[in-house]
Amino acid sequence: MIMKVLLVAESREGKLLGNINELLGFAKNLAVETAVFLVGKNDSLPKFSGRLYLAPVEKHLEYNPDGHKALLLEVVEKEHPDLIVFAHSSYGWDLAPRLAFALKVAQISEVVALADDGFVVPACNSKLRRQVKSLSPRTVLTLQAGAFPTVENGASLPEVIPVDTDTAPLVGFAGYEAAAQGGVDLSKASVVVSAGRGIGKPENIAMIAALAQALGGEYGASRPVVDAEWVEHNRQVGTTGQSVAPKLYVACGISGAIQHLAGMKKSEFIVAVNTDRDAPIGEIADVLVVADLKQFVPVMTEKLKAL
């Protein structure tokens, strides 16, 4: 029986990250007592009713997993939560296993749904789902981005409880490197046509660009295509690239890894072109065209031009 949850919020460059609202949404669905932990600043706090354990970011830094683990252990000692919940983010997946090991409890990663007496997580690049049961008295979770409805900022303010330790960091955090600037702003395009691994070779980017032009939009790409340097990083759609929500999104040869879906699933209408009927992109596509993009895309482009 879940009675009490501890949510772990994040801050980046002194600002609270919005993913706490998904964690609060998860807790609200469970209708359980909720406390939040944050290494952050007094002027950028989550809004909810409950206890907020706040550690000063000036001392504990935004990447100092050993220090943050020590702080969390103190909070767990005070709160005795049944679940300790992180976002499945670069902060969450780094810190959650450290806490789980210190507490000698299970961590269940990238939860997308609750199940009877357990949790549902993706498997095999999201092609499958796995239902998992924790065997430990309390459980650490990370939640997949976008899997649970967000709670919009309420008016309530938490009761702030300071927390502090003197744990020495094991790693040296030397600041941030900003994302590459300039280039195309895909978020302003009304149509985005993206290329995935299925395009096969860099020469085929041209046919994706041509289809995008015929539809009056821009072309983008998924991570493997950018990592292969076939398309510049500023056209990458997904968690580590741009988030888009155009009127029409055409995913060509993209299997649909969650990191990509997170960047485009709010699009108004989604067309997927894929040879694999079971590709996870099919879960969110309004239309799945089962075809080899190298044959289909040029024909589609010609017909659009002839309209």
Partner 1 sequence: MKILVCIKQVPDMESKFKIAGDGKWYDSADLVFRMNEYDEYAVEQAVRLKEQVGSADVTVLSIGGDRVKETMKKALAMGCDRGVHIADNQAWAKDPMVIAGIIAEYAGPESFSCIFTGMQSQDRGSAQTGVLLAEMLGLPCVTTIVDFSYSDGRFTVKRELEGGIKALVNVQGPAVFTCQLGLNTPRYPTLPNIMKAKKKELQSLPVEHLQKIALHQKTERLFFPEKKSGGLVLEGDAADLADRLITILKQKTAVLA
Residues 111 to 150: which contact partner 1 by CB under 8 A?
Answer: 115, 118, 121-136
Secondary structure of residue 155 in the 3-state scheme: coil
Specify the residue, 33 or 276, whose C-beta has the smaller distance to partner 1: 276
Residue 175 sits in the site that holds partner 1 (CB under 8 A): yes
Q: Which stretch binds partner 1 (CB under 8 A): 29-37, 46-54, 147-155, 176-184?
A: 176-184
Under rule CB under 8 A, which residues in 213-242 are in contact with partner 1?
Answer: 215-217, 223-224, 226-227, 233, 236, 239-241
Q: State the DSSP string of 62-99.
A: SS-HHHHHHHHHHHHHHH--SEEEEESSTTHHHHHHHH
Contacting residue, 52, 248, 252, 254, with partner 1 by CB under 8 A: 248
**Size of site (CB under 8 A) for partner 1:** 93
Under rule CB under 8 A, which residues in 187-216 are in contact with partner 1?
Answer: 190-191, 215-216
Specify the residue, 45 or 215, whose C-beta has the smaller distance to partner 1: 215
Q: How far is residue 37's CA from residue 41's CA, in Å, rounded to a whole number?
A: 12
Specify the residue, 11 or 34, whose C-beta has the smaller distance to partner 1: 11
Under rule CB under 8 A, which residues in 38-77 are in contact with partner 1?
Answer: 62-63, 65-66
- In 3D, which of 241, 246, 247, 287 has the Cα closest to residue 262? 241
Q: How far is residue 86's CA from residue 226's CA, in Å, rounded to a whole number?
A: 29
Q: How far is residue 205's CA from residue 197's CA, in Å, rounded to a whole number?
A: 11
Q: Tokens for 125, please give them.
A: 């690049």
Contacting residue, 14, 101, 156, 200, with partner 1 by CB under 8 A: 101
- Based on its alpha-carbon atoms, the radius of gyration of the chain, rounded to whole angstroms, reads 22
Contacting residue, 158, 196, 253, 282, with partner 1 by CB under 8 A: 282
Residue 18 sits in the site that holds partner 1 (CB under 8 A): no
- In 3D, which of 264, 79, 285, 280 has the Cα closest to residue 163? 79
Residue 245 sits in the site that holds partner 1 (CB under 8 A): no
Contacting residue, 11, 21, 34, 107, with partner 1 by CB under 8 A: 107
Secondary structure of residue 101 in the 3-state scheme: helix
